[in-house]
Amino acid sequence: MQLSTSVIQSDLASLRQSLLDLFCQVAYKEGDFTLSSGQQSRYYINGKQVTLHPEGGAAVGRLLLSMLPDDTMAVAGLTLGADPMVTATSVVALYAGRSIAPLIIRKEAKGHGTQAYIEGLTLAADAPVVVLEDVVTTGQSALKAVERLRAAGYRVTQILALVDRLQGGAELYAQENIPFEAIFSIQEIQARWAELNA
């Protein structure tokens, strides 16, 4: 565990490096895997091992907050991968003097009560929202979140991810005219993982 309790005070460059190491230590695995997209892969990244890590979650929140446009009113993402990310970013934002609502988007509408797709505060129409995703492969998961948010009357200004697997997600978002940025590319994680495991 490379992160320390100074995660809240560290400069962003040091924090990013510590988060990269944490990904390599607890989230990145090599082998034979089937991804949620159905694709086969020789590696797997379990982002929840980082986002549900006490210090990893705080680091994720700080780094994502630093990437948000100033007018952002909410961060949102598909359950379950984005849940700890939107929560961490919202909590870190409050400590930084910003109020950013966390929104969790269900994969299927709730079967009772309001039957809502989106859980969280109801925002004004056209509110600017940033979609968060842990690992982007084809880009379909975050795009589903975008569609749900737009259907609710919100304006999606950006998609932010922790890791881009470089398998078509960025291109899909470009076709949809949605700005996209990831903290890490898969090449950076693999290169650091190789260094740490040499």
**Residue stretches of the annotated binding site for 5-phospho-alpha-D-ribose 1-diphosphate:** 106-107, 110, 112, 133-141
| Three-class secondary structure of residue 132 per DSSP | strand
User: Quick one: tokens of 173?
Assistant: 């978002």
What is the 8-class DSSP label of residue 5? G
List the Cα angle 26/171/35 in 5-degree steps.
Answer: 40
Residues contacting residue 98 through CB under 8 Å, at least 6 positions apart: 65
Question: Measuring CA to CA, how many Å separate 7 from each of 48, 72, 153?
Answer: 18, 24, 36
Task: List the binding residues for orotate.
Answer: 137, 165
Task: List the binding residues.
Answer: 106-107, 110, 112, 133-141, 165
What is the 8-class DSSP label of residue 187? H
